[in-house]
Amino acid sequence: MIKESDVRKYISQNLSPVEIDEAKPNDIIIVGARGGAKMILDALKSQGTFNVKYLLDDSKLEYERLSGIKILGGTNLLEDLFEKGYRNIVLAFGTISQRKNRLQMYHVLSTAGWSFPNIIHCQAMIEGSVEMGSGNIVLAGAVVGSGVEMGDYNFINTGSIISHECRLENNVHTAPGSVLAGRVSVGSSTLIGMNSTIYFDINIGENATINNGVVINKDVSNNSIVKI
């Protein structure tokens, strides 16, 4: 009679361990191996500061590499990677529908000792007076204007414009083509949809969703969904 415990023991003894190279100081890990990861890979390549060593993805994918970078396995390997000396990491998922989960993972990994560098595409325009925290991603063609204050872990997508003196808290996603006029304030985990326009001096709350193509000319409360 074969017991379940015997099967589990056999599997654990016969699984080939994942081989992980020792980390170098400029190596970085990307969690997520889909479209968002492709954009981040290009931004990292243009920035020229970090070497993308591995990608992780918990989904079953039909490919083993993305843009030539090995998909090592799932997030269960993060502890092993940490033991090998890896510290730099970026999360390339959840900017639309899983923003709270993404932010939670950011906090957990930050507490565990992982580092989230700012990733700025060389074709993004960032004024010298901009202040930002850690883990922000600014992609090609984005413009971040004078006196803007950004917290941590914001995702500024391609071609979005954040005008002078705006304030973004944490984990905000400005989608392609979105425009924030001057002195706009955006709460954490909010999505500003594609081609949406936010008027001057508007306050947008936390965890709000501004759908694509919306014109906002009054304040938006927490957890709101604004449609055309």
Asked whether the predicted pLDDT for residue 97 surpasses 70, the reply is yes
Half-sphere exposure of 191 (CA within 13 A, CB side): 22
Q: What pTM did the predictor assign?
A: 0.88
pLDDT per position as a tens digit, 103-162: 889 999 999 999 999 999 999 999 999 999 999 999 999 999 999 999 999 999 999 999
> Which pLDDT value is given to residue 10?
40
Q: Which of 11-15, 106-110, 190-194 has the lowest mean pLDDT?
A: 11-15
Could you tell me the domains of the chain?
15-93 (3.40.50.20), 117-228 (2.160.10.10)
Q: Output the DSSP codes for the chain.
A: ---HHHHHHHHHHHSPPPP-PPP-TTEEEEE--SHHHHHHHHHHHHH-S-EEEEEE-SS--S-SEETTEEEEE-GGGHHHHHHTT--EEEE-S-SSS-HHHHHHHHHHHHHHT-B---EE-TTSEE-TT-EE-SS-EE-TT-EE-TT-EE-SS-EE-TT-EE-TT-EE-SS-EE-TT-EE-TT-EE-TT-EE-TT-EE-TT-EE-TT-EE-TT-EE-S-B-TT-EE--
